[in-house]
Amino acid sequence: MSVIGIDLGTTNSLAAVWRNGKVELIPDALGNLMTPSVVALDGDGNILVGQAAKEEELHHPERCASSFKRFMGTEKKYSLGTREFTPEELSALVLKRIKEMAEEYLQEEVTEAVISVPAYFNNDQRYATKQAAELAGIYCERLINEPSAAALAERQEKTEEEYLLVFDFGGGTLDVSLVDCFENIVEINTIAGDNHLGGTDFDQAIASYFCNAVGIMQNALTPVQWSTLLLEARRCKETLSIQAEVEMCFVWKGNTYSQKLTPEDIFHAGKGLFLRIRDVVSKALMDGGLSPDDISKILLAGGSSCMPTVSLYLGKLFGRNIKAGTEPDYLIATGLGIYTGIKERKEEIKDIMMTDVCPFSLGVGTHFNNSDQEKMDILIERNSILPSRMAKTYIAHTDYQESIRFEIYQGEHYIPEKNLKIGTLDIEIPKAKKGEEEVVVTFSYDINGILEVNAMNPSTGNTANTTIVSGYRRLSQEQLEAQRGKIDGLKRLSKELEEQKAIFAMGERLYAQTTGGLRDAVERTLDYYRCVCNSHSPIRIRKAGRGVLQFFLNAEIQRKRTVFDTLEFQWEDLFEESEEEQ
């Protein structure tokens, strides 16, 4: 049984394995490496996952769910038809699809995975990710921070010393990590991030910019119309990663509204988002005590880092030309594949060492100067190398206390209640005047994000312990089994029929979007594929499906081409303007 790595992304997910001395990215039956992180309900009540769900989202956004990774560890619910799903249940459906793909590709059962998470995911979000894996029937002992996986991929077969800044910008999150690399050691020194800043936010900014430009009142749009406009904004954003101009169109109240967009417009639309990017990068550098000149290389990871405006803006911040390397979308999955080989002690990579750091400070709420006011007292500071262990001594706050309760928090705020409460620990102490009895509290935080808290009263030797994984929706085994049964019992198409549905939906969309000779070719291809599917021959259908999908992908590229060459950016002065505004 193989251990696989899964990059569970906001927009797309993919998997990798270490096999035959190298990383292999795992494709689906049609050869696609990326599975859209989308879940939908079709007209017959079937649950769709991946490409078929993404195509369904274009026509029926009201019965689709995407970007749910951003709400892992929260109480948010998604409605698909008459059914409600939590973010971790939706993520479990994506993970289950990835597991099935991997088992078909590897021709063996997959029971364990290493899963990537944003470095800035808190305790609840990490626990929810592990719970999603369990619901999908996957054992997940280890979560890997996404920038750490990217750094591991970058260091393949390299031994020179360098200081990397990993800029991991995905669909829903931004992580920035400083990484010290020397020989076979990859050491994460500092991480900073924003769990609600990603490509999805640019989609919303572009949609709002479009409404203002063409005179549509944004608050007059229905939720379905707004979802449709967001999908068009995402299409335009992705198109501008490969060409200089795109036309954004939207039909509303019987009228067609259109507006040409350039990367310059993207900057204007998302100026506030760029300033948030600057703040995260600045925080990482300040925490690491470094200047931009200290960075040897800037490594771009995540699909949103492909936006030309993003690399240009980073270049302005660092005073150098920055370009995305090969396949930023695959970088994290490649690093995960390497880590699975390390985990399985594969001979060729078993000596690679990778350290990680604590993303948030951990501490307890204590009373300030013998008053009733509380403040956060930190035991393990953010960016401490893991595993980490720290102890502090606390004294009784009032006369004749019989016990002390320690409220345990994760976060950076001075006021404890404004941080994330992750647990409590009570310990009995002898009755005495305040200040006479003390308790030694020890925090031990391991590489898997598990916090062990120990309290000990020296005068009696009495101890109390707790292990904190998460305080969020901690389910019993019976509850987990019930949720897993709910997921397993959903009405689903066979993977063959779901693949066919996705291909037909893509072709029908292309037919609607094209004209002339390209449209005729799409029509002929659809007719051909329909005839093959009606033959009911699995081998013919599988072979034809691969060819038809490739044709549609090529047609998509041809449809996006324009007479414009790659834009030579002439608007760098906008960045100075944005900084002056601050």
Weakest mean pLDDT among 15-19, 174-178, 492-496:
492-496
Amino acid at site 513 = Q
| pLDDT at 477 exceeding the cut of 70 | no
Residues 8 and 69: beta-carbon distance below 8 Å = yes
Domain boundary among the residues 468, 485, 515 is at 468
The pLDDT of residue 576 = 44
The pLDDT of residue 369 = 65
455 and 376 housed in the same domain = yes
Task: Report the pLDDT averaged over residues 69-84.
Answer: 89
8 and 141 housed in the same domain = yes
The CATH number assigned to the domain holding 116 equals 3.30.420.40
Q: What does the alpha-carbon distance between residue 427 and residue 403 come to, in Å, rounded to a whole number? A: 5
Decide if 203 is inside a domain.
no
438 and 531 housed in the same domain = no
Beta pairing class for 38-41 and 47-49: antiparallel
Q: What does the alpha-carbon distance between residue 419 and residue 415 come to, in Å, rounded to a whole number? A: 7
Angle between helices 271-288 and 308-318 (to 10 degrees): 40
Query: Residue 89 — very low, low, confident or very high, per pLDDT cuts 50/70/90?
Result: very high
Domain boundary among the residues 354, 370, 403 is at 354
The CATH number assigned to the domain holding 412 equals 2.60.34.10
- How many folded domains does the chain comprise? 3
DSSP state of 63: G
22 and 119 housed in the same domain = yes
345 and 366 housed in the same domain = no
7 and 128 housed in the same domain = yes
Number of C-alpha atoms within 13 angstroms, CB side, residue 507?
A: 23
524 and 404 housed in the same domain = no
Decide if 483 is inside a domain.
no
Task: Report the pLDDT averaged over residues 28-37.
Answer: 86
36 and 117 housed in the same domain = yes
Decide if 458 is inside a domain.
yes
Closest Cα to residue 394, out of 385, 403, 382, 386? 403
459 and 523 housed in the same domain = no
Task: Report the pLDDT averaged over residues 285-306.
Answer: 90
413 and 341 housed in the same domain = no
pLDDT in tens, 512-524: 777 788 888 889 9
pLDDT in tens, 154-199: 887 677 888 899 999 988 899 999 999 888 888 889 999 998 899 9
The pLDDT of residue 370 = 63
Closest Cα to residue 280, out of 180, 169, 372? 169
60 and 131 housed in the same domain = yes
40 and 107 housed in the same domain = yes
Residues 549 and 528: beta-carbon distance below 8 Å = no
DSSP state of 198: S
Burial 460-499 (b: 16+ CB within 10 A, else e): eeeebeeebbbbbeeeeeeeeeebbeebeebebbebeebb
The model carries a pTM of: 0.79
> Which range of residues forms the domain containing residue 379?
362-468
